[in-house]
């Protein structure tokens, strides 16, 4: 399933335009501890986190994360969104909690496989 | 000051300066080295372990030290990752190696850093790890990944 399909199915808000929408998503990870993400996120994943400072992009870039998903409609600085586009990382947002979002993505990926 | 086991002729040397609270450089330097290793056709496992060590070691310098450097030497048998910093040093290394133990500030922790996973992650990814530290002076960390034993 591509990021675009996933996003459309679950109604996520896309903050970074076309970035990575055609990229295939295989897995996801939920964590706000950057060391945990660095050590454990799998390739071709979406990363659900409430961290919104610019350094999350360093982690995402290093781990080749397809998209960062921000729960509870939390606000992001424009600077972070612009930098994400530059670094080819998508940022999506949703009103639901990290718990709900991860459940929905898990099921969508399971069905899509 | 490299000891004997770390003396070799590097084929590729990458060097980065790390300033105080310069968190971005950790991701940046790890990404750059990762790209170099990919271009060299290194195995996925080696690339992953190297990137984790670089990220965590550079992050430790950014979080705790006044400033420091990160050097990565790539040669046919081994990848060496060395951070040297001027900073507070580590009073109790055994404690610092424990997962979950951290002396990072509240502010830094709120950003999702300082989870007490850095040194344990580095140890797990290294074939050899040597930490030389002096309280009030600084810390030198040397991690090695051997390219011909694992995988």
**Tell me: the pLDDT tens digits for A27-67?**
999 999 999 999 999 999 999 999 999 999 999 999 999 99
* Cα distances (angstroms) measured from residue A80 to each of B61, B94, B136: 23, 37, 36
Mean pLDDT of chain B: 91
Closest to B16 measured CA to CA, from B81, B88, B111: B81
Residue-wise pLDDT tens digits, B97-135: 999 999 999 999 999 998 999 999 999 999 999 999 999
| All structural domains of chain A with their residue ranges | 3-112
Instruction: For residue A35, list chain B residues with Cβ-Cβ distance below 8 A.
Output: 56, 59, 113, 115, 117-118, 121
How far apart, in whole angstroms, are the C-alpha atoms of residue B105 and residue B87? 15
A83 touches chain B (CB under 8 A): no
Which of B44, B112, B115 should one mutate to test binding to chain A, selecting the residue with the greatest count of A CBs within 10 A?
Answer: B112
**pLDDT, tens digit, for every residue of B20-45?**
888 888 989 999 999 999 989 899 99
A39 touches chain B (CB under 8 A): yes
Contact A87, A61 (CB under 8 A): yes
Query: Is this structure's pTM higher than 0.90?
Result: no
pLDDT at B48: 94
Asked if the model's pLDDT at residue B5 lies above 50, the reply is: no
Q: Which class for A89: exposed (0-12), middle (13-18), buried (19 or more C-beta within 10 A)?
A: buried
Tokens coding A25: 């998503």
With a cut of 70, say whether residue B57 has pLDDT above it: yes
Does the pLDDT at position A74 exceed 90? yes
Which residues of chain A lie closer than 8 angstroms to B36, CB-CB? none
**Chain B interface test: which of A45, A49, A53, A55 (most B C-beta within 10 Å):** A55
pLDDT at B79 over 70: yes
Report the chain B residue with the minimal C-alpha distance to residue A39.
Answer: B52
Q: Which CATH number fits domain B10-146: 3.30.565.10, 1.20.1440.230, 3.20.20.80, 3.30.930.10?
A: 3.30.565.10
Q: What pLDDT is attached to residue A78?
A: 96
Superfamily of domain A3-112: HprK N-terminal domain-like (3.40.1390.20)
pLDDT at A112: 79
């Amino acid at each position: 399933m591509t990021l675009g399909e996933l996003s459309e199915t679950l109604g996520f808000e896309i903050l970074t335009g076309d970035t990575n929408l055609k990229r295939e998503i295989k897995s996801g990870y939920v964590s706000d501890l950057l060391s945990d993400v660095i050590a454990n996120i799998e390739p071709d994943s979406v990363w659900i986190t409430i961290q919104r400072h610019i350094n999350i992009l360093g982690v995402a870039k290093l781990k080749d994360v397809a998209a960062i998903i921000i729960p509870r409609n939390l606000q992001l600085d424009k600077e972070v969104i612009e930098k994400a586009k530059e670094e080819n990382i998508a940022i999506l947002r949703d009103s639901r909690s990290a718990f709900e979002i991860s459940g929905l993505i898990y099921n969508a990926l399971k069905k899509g496989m | 000051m490299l000891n004997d086991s770390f003396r070799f002729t590097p084929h590729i040397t990458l060097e980065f300066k790390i300033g105080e609270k310069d968190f971005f450089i950790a991701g940046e330097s790890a990404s750059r080295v990762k790209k170099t290793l990919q271009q060299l056709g290194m195995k996925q496992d080696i690339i992953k372990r190297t990137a984790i060590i670089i990220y965590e070691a550079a992050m430790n310098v950014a979080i705790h030290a006044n400033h420091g450097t990160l050097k990565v030497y790539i040669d046919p048998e081994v990848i060496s990752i060395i951070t040297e910093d001027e900073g507070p040093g580590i009073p109790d290394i055994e404690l610092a190696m424990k997962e979950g133990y951290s002396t990072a500030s509240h502010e830094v922790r709120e950003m999702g850093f300082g989870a007490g996973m850095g040194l344990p992650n580095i140890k797990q990814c290294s074939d050899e790890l040597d930490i030389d530290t002096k309280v009030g002076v600084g810390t030198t960390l040397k991690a090695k990944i051997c390219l011909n034993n694992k995988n």
